[in-house]
Every structure is written in C-alpha cells, then in structure tokens.
Structure 1
Amino acid sequence: MSNLDQEEQLRIANEKITVANEKIVTLENDKDDQGKVIKYLQNLAHKVVSKFPELLDEDEDATQE
C-alpha cells in the first residue's frame, strides 16, 4: 500500500470520526432539550391537575376501559 493510499484512508477515517462526533454532540443536545421539554410538560400537567383535580379522575377512568 502506498503512502498516498494510507494518507487517503487516514483522511477518510478522520472525516468519519468528525461526522460521528458531530452526531454525538447533536444527540446529547437533543437529549438535554428533550429533558427540559419533559420537565416543563410535567410541571404544566401538575399545575393543571392541581387546579382541576377532576381531570385526573377522568383520565384514570379512560385508561381502565
């Protein structure tokens, strides 16, 4: 294998590693964002149910059908 072939393979490998690292960062950021959205929705649901507790009873009945 020539030096040019090895250099080309190394360049391609480095590009793939860079792309993989970018995907990992994106997934980690998405995970953080999803966690924030889930926490917000949980808080919102808690506030709604605390003001309208009868909604919780209706949801429980609907899931038992």
Structure 2
Amino acid sequence: MVNSYEVFKHAFEPTFTDRVIAEYNKNTDFYGRILQDESFRKKLMEMLMLDIYTSFREEMGA
C-alpha cells in the first residue's frame, strides 16, 4: 500500500529541513537561501516532494 501524498508530505517536510541543515556547510549560499527564503524553500520542497513521491508510487506499481 502506498501512502497518500499528504501523509508523505507530513514525513518529508521535517526530513527535508534536517538534510538542508546537515548539508549547509557544503554550499552556504544555496542552503542559506533555502533556510532564509520561505517562498524559495516551499517551491523547492514541493517540487522535490512531488518528484520523489511519484517515483515511489511508480516503483510500487501504484
């Protein structure tokens, strides 16, 4: 069974932020913008979530 997008989103959002913080020192300009620019962060997160969610659904045959 594949989770709904809303359930996936609920789990993805905090993980996304944790990973951005963990990777911050590798590219402070890019990751700093993600952390400081809420509009940019939301757009990027939504694009990544949808892409990853769609890939998972395809792999599961849903």
Pick the TM interval, shorter chain.
0.3 to 0.5
Q: Highest CA radius of gyration, 1 or 2?
A: 1
Higher RCO structure, 1 or 2 (CA under 8 Å, sep 6+): 2
Question: What TM-score results when the alignment is normalised by the length of structure 2?
Answer: 0.39
